[in-house]
Amino acid sequence: NYTSSREKEYSLVVVTDSEKQRILLGEKHRGFGTGMYNSFGGKLEREESATASACRELEEETGIVSPLSIMEESHVGTLRFTFEDSETEMVVHLFRVNVTISASGNDKSGGPALQSGGRTFPIAIKSDTIRGCDEITPFWVDNWSAIPFDNMFADDSLWLPALLSGSDFIRLDGWFHFQAGGQNINSISHWYMDI
Ligand code: 6OG
């Protein structure tokens, strides 16, 4: 297939604690965007759905367990990235998951909070649930107005504030064209968003 050979598909999960207006970011230690902060996700594996990839990557990179059904409801849109110096188009399936920290948590047992719906009813986790892996170290940004965009991909400052301030049922699709690939991606020459 001519198109899909040039397309690389990814999942990206934005994790918020909307009660405290916090967002969980990860510092990347390897792969695309090393040294930068991003939400959680990665390449879709062969035959893997975007939702399954989002669940797998979220658990690998943060320890947060979300059932497929919750992740399904948390799909908010698609981000497309193209680069001046590359034929490849990155297609990033975007999810938003809301968590609350509780004393007991229920991320392993699947209690009522897990079954009542993704974005509107948060996933209850214990404070010690969150842990990183060798690829990424998660950390809370304690206020949505203090997101360190200077150390994040340039597109984030364009769509993340809209996602955070939007309703639970926001849809967000975007296309961002970067002037150069690799690590030097801080120059977006064209972009389009549909919110
Ligand atoms: P690995 O290759 O490490 O997954 N990603 C991007 N996220 C944002 N916000 N902006 C970009 O601008 C991105 N390019 C890639 C997709 C890479 C992870 O990083 C995301 C994946 O979740 C170009 O497995």
- pLDDT tens-digit series, residues 149-161: 999 999 999 999 9
Strand pairing category for 75-83 and 40-43 = unpaired
In this structure, the chain runs to a length of 195
Its pTM stands at 0.90
Helix ranges restricted to H, 1-133: 2-6, 50-62, 68-73, 112-115
Higher pLDDT, 189 or 162: 162
One-letter amino acid for residue 100 of the chain: T
Nearest-atom index, ligand 1, CA of 43 = 24
Distance from C-alpha of 106 to C-alpha of 93, rounded to nearest angstrom: 26
- Establish whether this prediction's ipTM goes over 0.85: yes
Q: Supply 59's token pair.
A: 């658990």
pLDDT > 70 fraction of the chain, expressed in percent and rounded: 84
* pLDDT recorded at residue 185: 54
- Give me ligand 1 centre to Cα 168, in Å: 23
- Mean pLDDT (the chain, rounded): 86
Measured in Å, residue 90 CA sits from the centre of ligand 1 at 8
